[in-house]
Each structure stands twice: as C-alpha cells, then as structure tokens.
Structure 1
Amino acid sequence: GKRMVELLKQNQYVPMTMQDQVIVLFAGTQGYLDDVPVEAIKKFEEEFIKFISGTKDDLRSELAGKKAIDDDLKARLVQAIEEFKKGFQA
C-alpha cells in the first residue's frame, strides 16, 4: 500500500508520461517493489525510468501505441525490471 502511494506521487511541474506511469505501476502491482524500502521508491522510480529511456525505449514506444499489455510486452517488461533490479541499490 505505502509503496503504491509513493509511486503515485509526482513532482510538481514534472509530469510523467503515460508510458512511464504504466511501466512503474506495472512494477508495483506485480510485486517487484515489495523488497524495495518505502523510502527508496522515488529513487527506484526515477532511476528505472532513466534505465528504460536509455536502454529499453522500444518498450515505451510500444506502450504508446497499445491499449493493453499483451503477453509478449509483459514478458519484456518483467525482463527489464529484473535486469534493472540487479544493479539497483536503495
């Protein structure tokens, strides 16, 4: 619950794109943030979005054109989250 509240908070004057919102909410609702301390959620979110933008931008582009996350996209999101978490330090 607390982690999801942290994910939903946005910095003033720095709106998040729909694709980035979907990506971080997917991570949160699928349990990938359960082991991240609540106080590190914002850091995770910011660094994960930078990671996606820099290395997996095709995921963002694909999300922009879809109305739902299909099995292929879900598998690629999970892979990206797991890859990022290996190097993330709270």
Structure 2
Amino acid sequence: MDVVGIKRHFTTPEGTRIYDWETISVFEALKLAEPMLRCSECHGAVRLYRAAPDGSTASRAEHRKRNPGCSLDERFDGTKKMAELAIV
C-alpha cells in the first residue's frame, strides 16, 4: 500500500475550520510527527514502514489487522468490505 488516509484540519472557502480525512502518499506520511492514519479504502488501522537503507524494500503501509475485504491488502479475497474496526 503506498497511500494512506490522514486526519487533518482544513480551512473551507467560507473560512471555517474542519477536521477531515485526506489521502496522501506513505512517503509524505512518514515526514509527519504523529499522524492519525487509516487505509484509504477500508478505513482500517495501518502501520508505516520506512524504506530499507540498502533499497531492498520500499516505504509502505500495512494493515495492523489483515482485511481480506480490502483490495490494498495482499490477502484480498475479491469482495470489498470495510474493516471490522474502521477508523472514522
């Protein structure tokens, strides 16, 4: 998985501030101090991993709890469904 959902504050065109989800790359998420993250598809909790210094693995995100109903999970069973403990 190379994109994640992150919860951030936004200012609307009317000037009000809202707290909502945005999809960003794992590379950008790794730069943030303590982001609130979730899978951008199934809304399950994810963990970030940095690229190996030798280049053997790329930066990525993985589900904390496997979700066979998410097409971004390596064990996708072909039927999409939200995570059991979705982050809202």
Which of 1 and 2 has greater Rg?
2
